Structure 1
Amino acid sequence: MQSLSANSANSGAFPTPVVEPDWLAQHLEDANLVVVDCRFSLAEPEFGQQQYAQGHIPGAFYLDLNQDLSSPVQGHGGRHPLPDQEKLTDKLRQLGINSKSPSGPTRVVAYDNSRFAFASRLWWLLNYWGHSQVAVLNGGLAGWQSAGYGLSQVAPLPQAGNFSPQPQSGWTVEIEAVKQCQNQPGVWLIDSRSPERYRGEQEPIDPIAGSIPGAVNYFWQEVSDPDGRLRSPAALHQHWQALAEAEKVIVYCGSGVTACVNLLSQVAAGLPMQPLYVGGWSDWCSYLTSDSGA
């Protein structure tokens, strides 16, 4: 397993994939830094925007999971399909995110208050589009406030960035690719949902309970503590040590959102980025529903 070279002791380095509140506070006025509030609630889609209006990290923009970080739901493809590339590119440019500038690519810090559940989606999307200068805020907004830092109700003005997406080949898989390799030796299909949903005992969102045959369960909340802080690289190394046996790894969840937390933690442990089945269980079971005539 690789070492976590990104978390360099060099104070001048951008500490991806996670930054501490103190680091962010010290760099909040940097011209080459953009902060993005990703708070959201699956049960209350307007919650994140409302919370942002009530108070956010000074200078932070807001991106909405449904409106910005996903495209409209179709018959198949899951509850949170990947966003339209052109639409989100325009949005990211309005945040002032640059792929090229005299000081290098814009550093982006994403945060939420849900143990990385939504900030990690933006983290993954930017990495998927070739922008590696992105990190999530350890502890989220609660961690920021616990460290003694204040909030603002002022929304920043739109900017004019030059973000240019460069999608990474092989980072996503569709349902047919999952079917082809799901029971092959050496293939690890990781279900990131709660154990109850994985076992089919509960299903609060999708029409059918269960999991993809052959999948193993690694609950996304296990990589952080209750305060929303990512576990140490050593602890994450231990958590994912069984992956050393895998020839191929595919990660999924309900709809390609919280699976990104597991991907974040794997990168923090020094592992390479693994393919994401974006549609996840919501895509998989949509075919079961249609097959049954429901």
Structure 2
Amino acid sequence: MAHPSPVPPSPIVSAAWLRENLAQVVVIDSRFALMEPALGRQQYEAGHILGAYYADLNQDLSSPVQQHGGRHPLPDLQRLSVKLSAMGITASTVVVAYDDSRFAFAARLWWLLRYLGHDHAAVLDGGFKAWQAIGGEVSLDNPKEKSGNFNPTPRQDWVVDIDTVNAKKDLPAVALIDSREPDRYRGDREPIDPIAGHIPGALNYPWHDVTTEQGYVISEAQLRDRWSGLVTQDLLVYCGSGVTACVNLLSLAAIGLEGKLYAGSWSDWCSYHE
């Protein structure tokens, strides 16, 4: 029997919840591999959650790289809105995103939806493997385009640029959060960007710590403990290119807190400091 109300109980929903409400939501597969950009689409074609559409990080959830703005600039809002409309998404549609990368790409899609004013969005806990683990139906068929009406109303104050970061990062009521792995934060290793290290004054809250190694979110108590020292702060969150920072933003939303995304992140910062 279908759930009486498909409104997600949390920004992170279980596979069991999704299976119960599958007919009433739009599911979007956002699997991706940074070092092998075609892999996500190939995985989707090899089998995906029944009825799921596909959204590509580079093609759909980002815009082309420029001199500044980072490696994954925010997407063209009109193009993304057309794609979301073709998935049948309207103002009241519940959208569930999933990946197989501990929320890395699903959280980016979730954040973009909310940034564009669509609050009925969630991420699948445990990703595609969690769906398979409960015997959820997998399909090879691509769903047909539908007639939706996605009208974006961007929350411009949810995004900050380098000027805002420079102006606010040292203020007592502001915490600048670096979401990358500790060794990249420290500057011990930098596999992608031209400069190693972090923005001066940033605190390290690695995005991986939001989930277990199996890709399931840690408990609410653990999330609250994780962010307990910063609940009164204005949080400016970044990562390498504005993607995995969204995992931290998702974890904040799961306990009723909000942060702002430095969309260009470290890759944008580097473009001004080379």
- TM value normalised by structure 2: 0.96
Determine which of 70, 83, 91 is the counterpart of 2:75: 83
Q: Do the aligned partners of residues 164 and 245 (structure 1) sit closer, same or farther apart at CA in structure 2, a change above 3 Å counting?
A: closer
Aligned length: 271
Partner of 2:28, secondary structure, is: strand
Determine which of 163, 166, 173 is the counterpart of 2:150: 163
Residue 237 of structure 1 corresponds to 224
8 Å contact 1:15–1:135 — kept in the other structure? no
TM superposition outliers: structure 1 runs of 4+ over 3 Å: none
Q: Which runs of 5+ in 1 are unaligned?
A: 1-9, 100-104, 290-294
Partner of 1:36, secondary structure, is: strand
1:262 lines up with 2:267 in the alignment: no
1:172 lines up with 2:159 in the alignment: yes
CA RMSD of aligned residues (A): 1.2
Q: Could you report, residue by residue, the CA deviation over 1:168-223 in whole angstroms, capped at 9, with x for unpaired residues? A: 13100000110111222222100000000000011111111111000000000101
8 Å contact 1:78–1:280 — kept in the other structure? yes
Aligned equivalents of 1:58 and 1:186: distance in 2? 46
1:283 lines up with 2:236 in the alignment: no
Residue 28 of structure 1 corresponds to 22
Q: Could you report, residue by residue, the CA deviation over 1:53-105 in whole angstroms, capped at 9, with x for unpaired residues? A: 00000100000000000000001100000000110010000111011xxxxx1
Determine which of 90, 95, 112 is the counterpart of 1:98: 90
Q: Give 1:259 deviation, angstroms.
A: 0.3
Q: Which runs of 5+ in 2 are unaligned?
A: none
Determine which of 214, 225, 236 is the counterpart of 1:250: 236
Partner of 2:273, secondary structure, is: helix
Partner of 2:123, secondary structure, is: strand
Partner of 1:86, secondary structure, is: helix
Aligned equivalents of 1:199 and 1:82: distance in 2? 26
- TM value normalised by structure 1: 0.90
1:50 lines up with 2:56 in the alignment: no
